[in-house]
């Protein structure tokens, strides 16, 4: 199979779909890889490194899209990229379709085979291709919050860990999954007064075992969220419903009642965000203020540390890229129910129930679509 790797074009997105090491693995399996010139520059991998691994270098994205049978990316295709997709071409990347009707409509029109990293499952029931980026984003969320708390950036001028005789910042993390656990790890490590809220007793027990008395936990109810948010200096939104839009757990009214100079970081913004006042921002313009509360809602947070993120992502995506290339997408998806969960759009039809519900579109089960 001919696999294409275009350069990412989203604002300040420096990750790349395949590392040179992944390219070498694919070429050993007999596949060809076409990499757009400069695609790996953000992770410190020059064209020459890709060529040494066996890749061919394309002059531009149009060459990659026009020739490749499978496109491997990181972020959702932008409008210009979607216009280059064609029928039966495989697109393997993060999609986050539920809050994004224009992208969904374009992918349906293209009749491409669109497989989303974020809905591929594991035998244990997790989301293995989302996990490494959730780990990175969770850890970055506290770094971003500490930065935004500084007065010069609109915050209330509080040091995350405090100093002797002065209390640390109060950090509330909504969601005790991968994002929340890693956010809590960094917040506790910095000395913040940290609370994690989740509706899963098992998740709360796991956090208790990991952090002990250095972390407070609370069962998620509207009253516990409201009470914690109003007391907080920092609120991290890390709630995920696989394939669906994130629930709005913090209302605009709660934001209005937060302390001036407080900070909210919405890690769920790729799925629409879990604060009512959230809207996507970029690395070049990451924050805005609503009711004296600083909002950090960058939609591709791991792009800030592209080398770490790309290698972590390739560790989990490469086996699936190899499976799709070795077997062809139809056989690969029919044989692997967990990879099949990643199929969101096929031949113009929605094959992810949550996306279909989000837009009230017809839903076709993936196995039926593949058998057609």
Active site residues: 96, 270
Rounded to whole angstroms, the Cα distance separating 103 from 322 reads 26
Q: Are 286 and 11 in contact (CB under 8 A)?
A: no
The secondary structure of 185-236, three-state, reads HHHHHCCCEEEEEECCHHHHHHHHHHHHHHCEEEECCHHHHHHHHHHCCEEE
Q: Is the Cβ–Cβ distance between 318 and 93 less than 8 Å?
A: no
Mapped onto helix, strand or coil, the DSSP state of residue 14 is coil
Give me 232's structure tokens.
Answer: 């907080």
Q: C-alpha 317: how far from its chain's center?
A: 14
70, with CB counted inside 10 A (0-12, 13-18, 19+), is buried
| Alpha-carbon gap, residue 311 to 108, rounded angstroms | 30
Q: Give the H or E element holding residue 21.
A: helix 20-28
What does the chain come to in residues? 372
Instruction: Quickly list DSSP for 252-275.
Output: HHHHHHSPTT-EEEEGGGGGT-SB
Nearest CA to 174 among 232, 88, 120? 232
User: Whole-angstrom distance between the N-terminal and C-terminal Cα of the chain?
Assistant: 22
The burial class, CB within 10 Å (0-12 / 13-18 / 19+), for 30 is exposed
d(CA 364, CA 347): 11
Q: Are 228 and 172 in contact (CB under 8 A)?
A: yes
| Angle, helix 131-149 to helix 178-189, in steps of 10 degrees | 40
């Amino acid at each position: 199979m001919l696999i294409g790797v275009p350069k990412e074009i989203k604002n300040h997105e420096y990750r790349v779909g395949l590392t040179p090491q992944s390219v070498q693995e694919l070429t050993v399996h007999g596949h060809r890889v076409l990499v757009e010139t400069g695609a790996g520059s953000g992770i410190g991998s020059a064209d020459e490194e890709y060529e040494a691994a066996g890749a061919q270098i394309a002059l531009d994205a149009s060459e990659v899209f026009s020739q490749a049978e499978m496109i491997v990316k990181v972020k959702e295709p932008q409008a210009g990229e979607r216009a280059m997709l064609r029928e039966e071409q495989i697109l393997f990347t993060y999609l986050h379709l539920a809050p994004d009707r224009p992208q969904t409509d374009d992918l349906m029109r293209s009749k491409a085979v669109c497989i989303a990293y974020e809905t591929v499952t594991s035998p244990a029931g997790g989301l293995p291709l989302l996990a490494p980026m959730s780990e990175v984003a969770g850890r970055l969320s506290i770094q971003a919050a500490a930065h935004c708390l500084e007065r010069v950036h609109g915050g209330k001028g509080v040091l995350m860990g405090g100093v002797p005789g002065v209390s640390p910042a109060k950090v509330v993390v909504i969601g005790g999954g991968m994002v929340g656990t890693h956010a809590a790890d960094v917040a506790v490590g910095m000395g913040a007064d940290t609370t994690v809220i989740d509706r899963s007793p098992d998740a709360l027990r796991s956090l208790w075992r990991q952090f002990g008395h250095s972390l407070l936990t609370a069962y998620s109810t509207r009253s516990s969220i409201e009470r914690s948010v109003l007391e907080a200096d920092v609120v991290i939104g890390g709630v995920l419903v696989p394939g669906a839009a994130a629930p709005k757990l913090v209302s605009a009214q709660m934001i209005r009642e937060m302390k001036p100079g407080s900070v909210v970081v919405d890690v769920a913004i790729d799925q629409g965000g879990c604060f009512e006042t959230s809207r996507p921002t970029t690395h070049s313009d990451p924050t805005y203020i609503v009711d004296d509360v600083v909002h950090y809602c960058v939609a591709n947070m791991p792009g800030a540390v592209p080398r770490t993120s790309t290698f972590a992502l390739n560790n989990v995506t490469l086996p699936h890229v190899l499976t799709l290339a070795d077997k062809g997408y139809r056989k690969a998806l029919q044989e692997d129910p967990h990879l099949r969960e990643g199929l969101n759009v096929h031949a113009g039809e929605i094959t992810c129930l949550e996306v279909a519900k989000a837009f009230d579109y017809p839903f076709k089960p993936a196995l039926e679509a593949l058998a057609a």
